Amino acid sequence: MSEHFDALETRDPAARERDLLARLPGQIAHAKTGTPYFAERLRDIDPAAITSRAALATLPVLRKHELIELQKNRRPFGGLAAAGWDQLGRVFSSPGPIYEPEGRAKDYWRTARALYAAGVRAGDLVHNSFSYHMTPGGWMLEAGARALGCTVFPGGVGQTEQQVQAMADLQPNAYVGTPSFLRILLDKADELGIKIPALKKALVSGEAFLPPVREALRARGIEGYQAYATADLGLIAYETPAREGLVVDENVILEIVRPGTGEPVPAGEVGEVVVTLFNPDYPLIRFGTGDLSAVLPGASPCGRSNMRIKGWLGRADQTTKIKGMFVHPEQVAAVVKRHPQIARARLVVTNPDSVDAMTLHCEGAGDAALAGAVAESLRELTKLRGEVVFVGSLPNDGKVIADERKYD
């Protein structure tokens, strides 16, 4: 039996890149002609000219937090869907609310690839503890499992004792859901004296999969892998038996950009995950997830040749309120753009004597004159006064605004 889901996973990286970029102009053209939002947002863009990552990086980023306002003004999908009710299979609601469409294609969210990497195979019984209520999680993983030829028990969330009893009766050999809920189920089984010896595989998502949790599962004979997916995009990246980062899905173009901008960061630097999706129903172009990650160099030892990322490293949306005023990463980026002497910057917020204060830490060399000019830009762009200091280097953690206030 193959270790890989299909031949796409082991393609020559250059061939994959050529294929993705060859498909890109058509997807951008489809988004422009098929959706009111992109018709306006990309009005002056010639899709035929977007044939490289550099060209793609010139397009604006649509960030997830914008969807709430877009959808308030244009129901149900903010003018972003290219399919009507006659072409969609389901519609979901995430907090916000943000509504997400699901088309009718098999394995619409492309989760079968992640399940396969986690060892799930045809004939497995999969206990699915993602929610089936309003949000897409349960349906996303069910579609992938059924595409592989598995049978699915739709456990959903809650009703812990009933779920444990079902596991005891049915003896599933695979689990999908959050890692914390799997631990709750296993602890409840221990409390009730119930054995679930068949459970050997798990694909978890929705929260951080911390090493102590992974090891606790392994001690029970369960090998857990993680998937990185969102309700808007479906699968973005997934863990493999190599246990070295997450391999990017074959049907997306992934960029890492500096938070608050659309500018790609150097390889290895932490930034915001931005995804362009080849989906005919919901053609998201440069969609900013708000999640932080970084590209891992080299190829995975498992043989999969696609780009790898480090996994979830925090949130890029570091908006904070200072003296009653919201300050956004985009404003910090605008300060940096005005002063090319600055390589990177981080706004550090403190509250000495219980009074908010902010200091802009700038990576690079600067004198008093430059510090004064930067401070004036900071005041103009944020409407707040702050100190400016120059430092040799900043940590590579993607932080643009660091809120270090204490409220003891």
Give the CATH number, domain containing residue 334: 3.30.300.30
194 and 77 part of one domain: yes
For residue 231, give the CATH number of its domain: 3.40.50.12780
221 and 100 part of one domain: yes
In angstroms and rounded to an integer, the radius of gyration of the C-alpha atoms of the chain is 23
Assign 319 to helix, strand or coil. Answer: coil
23 and 152 part of one domain: yes
Boundary-marking domain end, from 274, 309, 344: 309
289 and 393 part of one domain: no
199 and 325 part of one domain: no
108 and 243 part of one domain: yes
228 and 334 part of one domain: no
Q: Alpha helices, DSSP H only, in 175-265? A: 179-192, 211-219
Per-block average pLDDT, block size 10, for the chain (408 residues)?
A: 91 98 98 98 97 98 91 96 97 89 97 98 97 93 98 94 97 95 94 96 91 92 96 97 97 94 93 96 96 93 97 81 79 92 93 85 92 95 92 89 81
Q: Which long-range contacts (CB under 8 A, 24 or more apart) does 63-68 make?
A: 63/287, 63/288, 63/290, 63/317, 64/98, 64/230, 64/232, 64/287, 64/288, 64/289, 64/290, 65/290, 65/317, 67/96, 67/98, 67/232, 68/96, 68/97, 68/98
Cα–Cα nearest to 129, from 176, 166, 189: 176
73 and 183 part of one domain: yes
Q: Please count the structural domains in the chain.
A: 2
Boundary-marking domain end, from 309, 328, 352: 309
Is 280 inside any structural domain? yes
99 and 120 part of one domain: yes
Q: Are strands 308-309 and 246-248 parallel, antiparallel or unpaired?
A: antiparallel
Containing structural domain, residue 329? 320-403
Is 68 inside any structural domain? yes
Is 1 inside any structural domain? no
> Which runs of E-coded beta strand occur in 278-386?
287-293, 295-296, 308-309, 320-322, 325-327, 344-350, 357-363
255 and 344 part of one domain: no
165 and 58 part of one domain: yes
Inter-CA distances, 152 with 65, 109, 110, 238, Å = 33, 16, 16, 20
Question: CA 389 to CA 372: how far, in whole Å?
Answer: 10
Boundary-marking domain end, from 257, 276, 309: 309
Is 315 inside any structural domain? no
The per-residue pLDDT for 177 is: 95
Is 2 inside any structural domain? no
What are 248's two structure tokens?
């990017």
> Could you tell me how many residues make up the chain?
408
Question: CA 408 to CA 394: how far, in whole Å?
Answer: 27
327 and 197 part of one domain: no
* CA angle (107 as vertex; 102, 112 as ends), nearest 5: 135
Is 50 inside any structural domain? yes
